[in-house]
């Protein structure tokens, strides 16, 4: 039996028709009619208490399932606790359907408790926000019939905007009392509006004559690939390979999920550290994908100001990252790269690409024989590489972890990271949600990110031990290691305590509280002993979620990091 609230049933019916069948549910009374209906209607329901965590959990699920996921919470500050995940979803982007239960509008601001202006609360960080009316079941009343249509239209609008932008949308659902009548036996058969944008817009994408001329006039063409989903990366791989083979320099970070056999230059950040040579500067830059981690490539391109910069954005967003954009191309990356490959074929000279590849080989040779000294974040990460295999997804937290991963690579694993707004506030929850989606996951995280989001372990997925395995490697260097790599900040005596938030916390208690397996290694010998046991099949399967805490020294890490780069200098 479902709730008797018509707006709720319209929403649930449309979500089901739209195949949005995973919902992260947060506790509360105002949203209880929604919660009850989702569960009773057979949705995949994931209980998460902390809304901040729930939002990120939903993002992890959406990444794993590669489709929209909903999160549903009660009224009041619970809504605002979703904001960090909403902002990540906006800039990442990821399709997140935010459903918030509310009091009827007449009670907002009347000291009625747990009430604040929810409609519009996410401001510019959602692609669309709607507030549903509360139609009754009286279909004989013409005004009410319009309310029913209005409610349907608003929900359809929100769902369409979520898909159009692949981003977050907000549906605020006022629910009048009485709240707990679960008397309806069926969901209404709602009219759904399908969005058919892709099929009609992109099927015959080709470059304009003007673009062809611009492209042919440039001898040094660089393609910068930012963060891609693994699925996007697989689609792009053959095209990237083709483009690399016809003289384009394709630079791609680990988060692009493009592998070396496509001919991409993955160690471009190290190259730019080692060599300063104008011959490496491009004339035309084409950017595809999401965010780029490397500051060096941004700095280099801002300084050299390429003649042309074409930014490819499926959603048509201006991102003039190198202060030199000359063209915004609104299409899918695969369409664009396919069209570019058609034009270039073998007309571009290989000189520019050869130069980059020579530099890449020299850097690879140096890093290939680099001997990690001591027990550091880098040496530990290097030792983990054999575990980054095809079937495993790697979730990287922000800060040093994602940068170190960029240096050492993630093997054959698909890699994910909350790079939308680079928060340290949701990595554990995102990884939890991802694993709840059914795929074995390794989370690599720094200590501040881990302790910040420890509620990411406080959910039914981790506690029940059902589903895929979640393996967490926690690099505990006693604070924000990244702040030791910021030139100039060492001049502040307050760096370690206040900026890097130095601490002496360990994760054992958190692991125990949440029923997770736990091992700790404080030196190379302990680590060697732990490693095999930790990743052994029986240990992981027994624990389901397990944490390996490696305790490293921030000073040693700093030295190793600098040394690693220093060896590259010529
Ligand atoms: C929510 C949020 N608060 C603050 C920051 C600023 N910040 C960026 S990196 C960082 C330190 C992260 O430290 P840790 O997770 O331990 O990683 P490490 O650099 O030590 O590997 C902080 C505080 C942020 N990105 N997000």
- Please state the atom number of ligand 1 nearest to the C-alpha of residue 447: 16
Measured in Å, residue 448 CA sits from the centre of ligand 1 at 6
Measured in Å, residue 446 CA sits from the centre of ligand 1 at 8
Ligand 1 pocket test, candidate residues 83, 418, 482, most atoms within 8 A of CB: 482
b/e per residue 167-178 (b: at least 16 CB within 10 A)? bbbbbbbbbeee
Element (H, E) at 442: strand 441-446
CB atoms < 10 A from the CB of 316, how many? 11
Measured in Å, residue 399 CA sits from the centre of ligand 1 at 5
Measured in Å, residue 222 CA sits from the centre of ligand 1 at 31
Q: What domains does the chain contain, in order, with CATH numbers?
A: 6-179 (3.40.50.970), 204-368 (3.40.50.1220), 377-566 (3.40.50.970)
DSSP H helical segments within 372-485, as ranges?
377-384, 400-408, 427-436, 447-452, 460-464
Residue 417, both tokens: 């990271």
CA-closest residue to ligand 1 atom 7: 424
- Please state the atom number of ligand 1 nearest to the C-alpha of residue 445: 15
- Please state the atom number of ligand 1 nearest to the C-alpha of residue 397: 15
Measured in Å, residue 542 CA sits from the centre of ligand 1 at 31
CA-closest residue to ligand 1 atom 24: 423
Measured in Å, residue 424 CA sits from the centre of ligand 1 at 5
Separation of alpha carbons 448 and 399, rounded Å: 10
Q: How much of the chain is in helix, strand and coil states, percent to nearest 5? A: 45, 15, 40
Q: Which residue reads 């000291």 in tokens? A: 111
Ligand 1 pocket test, candidate residues 87, 480, 497, most atoms within 8 A of CB: 480
DSSP letters spanning 464-513: H--SS-EEEEEEE-SS-GGGGGSTTGGG-TTIIIIIS------SHHHHHH
pLDDT score of 203 = 55
Per-residue pLDDT of the chain (570 residues; tens, 9 = 90+): 999 999 999 999 999 999 999 999 999 999 999 999 999 999 999 999 999 999 999 999 999 999 999 999 999 999 999 999 999 999 999 999 999 999 999 999 999 989 999 999 999 999 999 999 999 999 999 999 999 999 999 999 999 999 999 999 999 999 999 999 999 999 999 999 998 875 445 556 789 999 999 998 999 999 999 999 999 999 999 999 999 988 999 999 999 999 988 899 999 999 999 999 999 999 999 999 999 999 999 999 999 999 999 999 988 889 999 999 999 999 999 999 999 998 887 667 889 999 999 999 999 999 999 999 889 999 999 999 999 999 999 999 999 999 999 999 999 999 999 999 999 999 999 999 999 999 999 999 999 999 999 999 999 999 998 889 999 999 999 999 999 989 999 999 999 999 999 999 999 999 999 999 999 999 999 999 999 899 998 898 899 999 999 999 999 999 999 999 999 987
Stated length of the chain = 570
Q: Which residues line ligand 1 (CB under 6 A)?
A: 397-401, 422-425, 446-449, 475, 477, 480-482
Residue 282, both tokens: 């491009």
CA-closest residue to ligand 1 atom 23: 480
ipTM of the complex: 0.99
Measured in Å, residue 452 CA sits from the centre of ligand 1 at 9
pLDDT score of 38 = 98
Element (H, E) at 96: strand 96-102
Measured in Å, residue 126 CA sits from the centre of ligand 1 at 24
Measured in Å, residue 306 CA sits from the centre of ligand 1 at 33
CA-closest residue to ligand 1 atom 12: 480
Ligand 1 pocket test, candidate residues 85, 91, 395, 399, most atoms within 8 A of CB: 399
pLDDT score of 289 = 95
Separation of alpha carbons 370 and 76, rounded Å: 54
DSSP H helical segments within 253-306, as ranges?
268-274, 295-304
Separation of alpha carbons 139 and 188, rounded Å: 13
- Please state the atom number of ligand 1 nearest to the C-alpha of residue 84: 1
pLDDT score of 345 = 74
Cα distances (Å, whole numbers) of residue 43 to 12, 15, 35, 38, 192: 9, 10, 10, 6, 18
Separation of alpha carbons 304 and 276, rounded Å: 11
pLDDT score of 200 = 43
């Amino acid at each position: 039996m479902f709730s008797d609230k018509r707006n709720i049933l319209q929403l649930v019916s449309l979500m089901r028709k739209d195949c949005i069948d995973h919902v992260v549910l947060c506790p509360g009374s105002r949203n209880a009619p929604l919660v009850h209906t989702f569960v009773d209607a057979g949705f995949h329901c994931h209980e998460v208490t902390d809304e901040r965590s729930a939002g990120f959990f939903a993002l992890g699920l959406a990444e794993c399932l590669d489709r929209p996921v909903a999160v549903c919470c009660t009224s009041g500050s619970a809504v605002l606790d979703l904001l960090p995940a909403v902002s990540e979803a906006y800039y990442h982007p990821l399709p997140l359907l935010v459903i918030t239960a509310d009091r009827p509008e007449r009670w907002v601001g009347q000291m009625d408790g747990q009430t604040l202006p929810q409609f519009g609360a996410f401001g510019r960080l959602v692609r669309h926000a709607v507030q549903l009316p509360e139609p009754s079941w009286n279909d004989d009343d013409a005004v009410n019939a319009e309310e029913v249509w209005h409610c349907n239209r608003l929900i359809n609008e929100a769902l369409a905007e979520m898909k159009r932008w692949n981003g977050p949308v907000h549906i605020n659902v006022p629910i009048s009392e009485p709240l707990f009548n679960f008397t309806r036996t069926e969901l209404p058969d709602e009219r759904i509006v399908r969005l058919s944008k892709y099929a009609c817009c992109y099927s015959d994408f080709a470059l304009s004559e003007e673009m062809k001329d611009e492209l042919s006039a440039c001898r040094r063409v660089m393609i910068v690939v930012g963060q891609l989903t693994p699925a996007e990366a697989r689609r792009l791989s053959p095209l990237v390979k083709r483009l690399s083979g016809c003289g384009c320099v394709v630079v791609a970070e680990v988060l692009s999920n493009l592998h070396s056999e496509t001919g991409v230059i993955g160690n471009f950040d190290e190259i730019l550290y080692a060599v300063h040579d104008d011959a490496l500067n491009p004339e035309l830059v084409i950017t595809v994908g999401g965010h780029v981690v490397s500051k060096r490539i941004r700095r280099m391109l801002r300084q050299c100001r390429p003649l042309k910069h074409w930014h490819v954005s499926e959603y048509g967003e201006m991102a003039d990252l190198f202060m030199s954009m000359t063209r915004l191309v609104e299409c899918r990356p695969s369409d664009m790269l396919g069209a570019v490959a058609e034009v270039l074929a073998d007309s571009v000279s290989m000189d520019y690409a050869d130069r980059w590849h020579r530099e890449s080989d020299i850097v690879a040779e140096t890093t290939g024989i680099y001997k990690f000294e001591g027990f550091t974040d880098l040496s530990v990460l290097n030792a983990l590489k054999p575990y980054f295999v095809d079937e495993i997804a790697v979730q990287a937290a922000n800060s040093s972890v994602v940068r170190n991963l960029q240096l050492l690579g993630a093997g054959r694993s698909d890699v994910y990271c909350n790079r939308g707004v680079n928060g340290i506030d949701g990595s554990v929850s995102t990884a939890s949600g991802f694993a709840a989606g059914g795929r074995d996951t390794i989370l690599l995280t720094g200590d501040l990110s881990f302790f910040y989001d420890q509620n990411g372990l406080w959910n039914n997925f981790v506690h029940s031990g059902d589903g895929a395995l979640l393996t967490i490697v926690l690099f505990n260097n006693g604070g924000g290691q990244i702040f030791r790599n910021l030139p100039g900040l060492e001049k502040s005596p307050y760096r370690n305590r206040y900026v890097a938030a130095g601490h002496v916390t360990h994760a054992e208690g958190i692991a125990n509280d949440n029923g997770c397996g736990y091992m700790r290694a404080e030196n190379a010998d302990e680590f060697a002993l732990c490693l095999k046991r930790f990743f052994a099949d029986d240990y992981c399967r027994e624990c389901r979620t397990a944490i390996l805490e490696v305790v490293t020294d921030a000073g040693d890490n700093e030295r190793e990091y600098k040394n690693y780069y220093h060896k590259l200098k010529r």
